[in-house]
């Protein structure tokens, strides 16, 4: 009924009066917030920090930062803004660790909530038959890992980098090399506590307020602020066998990847990446991995080639070493990689999961972490991935890349289509992530303009050939593009927005529903 009222193609938010707020309007509304009776407080000291993110390209200054010390601080603040009515100009963005790419955790002239200051309740590990963790939405995954390992447990599904918050990744999906088996992080949550855009605190799960639960998972922060999550755990292994092999033929590489993600006995983690024209590649690997055949490996030349690296990991405890070695050998014997490129190592589970942090430290030392990051993340249907690879790796990016390019397949059956996340309509789709860094002030091939141009060529190719691609961590600048992104799911997305955030207060930096300005 509601859909027919708004008309399937109408956006209810576009009917809001378009008010251009002046700075003094915003300042007076913001100062009214400071009269609220909270456990935490508002501050204006750190507004410049809240106007930055990992992408380092978009900078919107908020008027004030909420440092919440309780869930009720968040609820009181949002309710106060909601009570101002639909024509109020104030918006609210939850900021987890601010590792967004295009200002998604920013609120121009609005309120940014520093979710990491929400430490009302401790992490609580429940070690029963179905172990789980209750944790604040502002907690970092690296802290979760340290805490759960004390109990011999760990979450099942990860991201490659752990200095991200629970609320930040659950608002997208949370994908890494375990997702083919366990699904993304949004498939591994039992329950959430959410503050909606009306300022109501609600618990939700598959059984209770299920529509809110699925709206918020992958919901880009549009329907509520995740203040608490109950996350599925499993027994944590002590160690990991971490393996890399190379291919020069994309068809053979992707065939092996797809075989591994579908096999019954397989690795615990499967990813892959593309390497374009890297000198001394295998020599670099030697600092962390051991070649199985050192003589042949030293003869392998990566110069001028486009290569595909299959990266795998097998979890193990020291008392199972022999059986895991046999499993690894048997799996490797099914694959068709270049034999001289087999590299292996064994590391602790903690070091494996926190591996990207090692690169972060190195890049920070060189001043290369806080540069612009024009990243592009795509989900590509399996039946079109060869066409994509041929054009993108064989033509658009023929000479070099400006950062890692990840590529690995995922099983759609592990994604719950009741959530807000959208994926291609095929049983298997690939994540392809162009994780570029741009050198400040460069006008060359490592400069921002060149990389953005390449991203555009890739997107244009996907569009003209109708590859059926979906962006992951999507970024669009107008509602028509968002409508296309969601496809048939757009109507339900709009319906959910009107139910849980009818005045479009939340997550304005996603630029999906703009109420004013
Ligand atoms: P923020 O940037 O702070 O917020 C992101 C969005 O979520 C914003 O719209 C914000 O308003 C909203 N939000 C934040 N907290 C909450 C909350 N509690 N409730 C509701 N909404 C909220 N992603 C993967 O899936 N896999 C990876 O392997 C991966 N690796 C990454 C590596 C690096 C180095 C970086 C920078 C990013 C990576 N990402 C990866 C992307 C990352 O998961 C997202 O950018 C994520 O949103 C960042 O989390 P955050 O805590 O910094 O969120």
Q: What local confidence, expressed as pLDDT, does residue 21 receive?
A: 58
| Residue among 458, 402, 467 at smallest CA distance from 435 | 402
| Pocket around ligand 1 at a 6 A CB cut-off | 53-54, 93-100, 104-105, 115, 137, 159-161, 164-165, 167-169, 171-176, 220-221, 225-226, 473, 507, 509-510
- Three-state DSSP at 27 gives helix
**Res 13 pLDDT > 80:** no
CA of 168 to the centre of ligand 1 (A): 4
Tokens of 107: 């609120």
Write down all domains in the chain, each with its CATH number in brackets: 2-115+476-510 (3.30.43.10), 124-235 (3.30.465.10), 239-471 (3.40.462.10)
Q: What local confidence, expressed as pLDDT, does residue 15 receive?
A: 39
* Residue entry with tokens 């909420």: 66
Q: What local confidence, expressed as pLDDT, does residue 516 receive?
A: 39
Residues 101 and 82: beta-carbon distance below 8 Å: no
CA of 96 to the centre of ligand 1 (A): 7
Give the residue, out of 60, 91, 100, 140, with the most ligand 1 atoms within 8 A of its beta carbon, to mutate for a pocket test: 100
| Residue among 398, 382, 402 at smallest CA distance from 390 | 398
In the chain, % helix, strand, coil (3-state, to 5) comes to 35, 20, 40
* Residue entry with tokens 């400069």: 447
Q: Which region, left, alpha or beta, applies to residue 86 given φ > 0 means left and ψ of -120 to 50 means alpha?
A: alpha
| 0.80 surpassed by pTM | yes
What does the pLDDT look like over 394-434, one tens digit per residue?
999 988 889 999 999 999 999 999 999 999 999 999 999 99
Residues 46 and 65: beta-carbon distance below 8 Å: yes
161, burial (CB in 10 Å: exposed 0-12, middle 13-18, buried 19+): buried
CA of 343 to the centre of ligand 1 (A): 32
CA of 298 to the centre of ligand 1 (A): 40
Active-site residue list? 99, 160, 271
The mean pLDDT of the chain is: 93
Residues 431 and 379: beta-carbon distance below 8 Å: yes
Identify the bridge partners of residue 471 per DSSP, sorted by sequence position.
378
The ipTM value here is 0.99
| Ligand 1 atom 13: residue of nearest CA | 168
Taking the C-alpha atoms of residue 368 and residue 403, their distance in angstroms, rounded to an integer, is 12
Taking the C-alpha atoms of residue 494 and residue 489, their distance in angstroms, rounded to an integer, is 9
Taking the C-alpha atoms of residue 496 and residue 209, their distance in angstroms, rounded to an integer, is 12
| Ligand 1 atom 47: residue of nearest CA | 168
Q: What local confidence, expressed as pLDDT, does residue 7 receive?
A: 32
Taking the C-alpha atoms of residue 505 and residue 75, their distance in angstroms, rounded to an integer, is 13
Q: What integer is the mean pLDDT of 222-232? A: 98
Strands 290-291 and 189-196: unpaired
Q: What integer is the mean pLDDT of 315-323? A: 97
**Res 232 pLDDT > 80:** yes
**Res 120 pLDDT > 70:** no
Q: What is the largest CA-CA distance in the chain?
A: 72
Tokens of 487: 């496809």
Q: What integer is the mean pLDDT of 147-169? A: 98
């Amino acid at each position: 009924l509601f859909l027919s009222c708004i008309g399937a193609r109408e956006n209810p938010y576009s009917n809001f009066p378009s008010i251009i707020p002046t700075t003094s309007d915003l300042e007076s509304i913001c100062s009214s917030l400071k009269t609220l009776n909270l456990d935490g407080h508002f501050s204006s000291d750190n507004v410049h920090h809240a106007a930055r993110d990992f992408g380092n390209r978009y900078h919107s200054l908020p008027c004030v930062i909420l440092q919440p010390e309780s869930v009720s601080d968040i609820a009181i603040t949002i309710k106060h803004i909601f009570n101002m009515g639909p024509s109020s100009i104030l918006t609210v963005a939850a900021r987890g660790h601010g590792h967004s790419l295009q200002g998604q955790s920013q609120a121009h002239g609005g309120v940014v909530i520093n979710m990491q200051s929400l430490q009302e309740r401790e992490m609580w590990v429940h070690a029963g038959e179905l172990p789980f963790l209750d944790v604040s939405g502002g907690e970092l995954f690296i802290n979760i890992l340290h805490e759960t390992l004390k109990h011999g447990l760990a979450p099942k599904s990860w991201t490659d980098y752990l200095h991200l918050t629970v609320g930040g990744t659950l608002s997208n999906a949370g994908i890494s090399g375990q997702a083919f088996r366990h699904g993304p992080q949004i498939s591994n949550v039992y329950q959430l506590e959410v503050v909606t855009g009306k300022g109501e605190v609600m618990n939700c799960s598959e059984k209770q307020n299920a529509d809110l639960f699925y709206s918020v998972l992958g919901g880009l922060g549009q329907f509520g602020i995740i203040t608490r999550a109950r996350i599925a755990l499993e027994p944590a292994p002590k160690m990991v066998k971490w393996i890399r092999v190379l291919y020069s033929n994309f068809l053979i590489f992707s065939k092996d990847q797809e075989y591994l993600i579908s096999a019954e006995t397989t690795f615990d983690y499967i990813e892959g990446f593309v390497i374009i024209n890297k000198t001394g590649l295998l020599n670099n690997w030697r600092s962390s991995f051991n070649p199985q055949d050192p003589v042949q490996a030293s003869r392998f030349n990566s110069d001028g080639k486009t290569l595909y690296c299959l990266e795998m990991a097998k979890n193990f405890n020291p008392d199972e070493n022999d059986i895991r070695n046999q499993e690894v050998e048997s799996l490797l014997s099914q694959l068709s990689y270049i034999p001289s490129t087999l590299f292996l190592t064994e590391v602790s589970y903690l070091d494996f999961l926190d591996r990207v942090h090692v690169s972060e430290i190195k890049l920070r030392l060189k001043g290369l972490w806080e540069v612009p990051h024009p990243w592009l993340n795509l989900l590509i249907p399996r039946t079109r991935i060869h066409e994509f690879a041929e054009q993108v790796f064989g033509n658009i990016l023929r000479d070099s890349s400006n950062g890692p390019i990840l590529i690995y397949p995922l099983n759609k059956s592990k994604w719950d289509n009741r959530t807000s996340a959208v994926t291609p309509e095929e049983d298997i789709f690939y994540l392809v992530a162009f994780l570029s860094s741009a050198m400040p002030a460069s006008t060359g091939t490592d400069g921002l303009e060149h990389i953005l141009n390449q991203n555009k060529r890739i997107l244009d190719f996907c569009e003209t050939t109708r590859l059926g691609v979906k962006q992951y961590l999507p970024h669009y600048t107008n509602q028509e593009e968002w409508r296309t992104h969601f496809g048939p799911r757009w109507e339900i997305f709009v319906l959910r927005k009107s139910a849980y955030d009818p005045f479009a207060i939340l997550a304005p930096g996603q630029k999906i529903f703009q109420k004013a300005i």
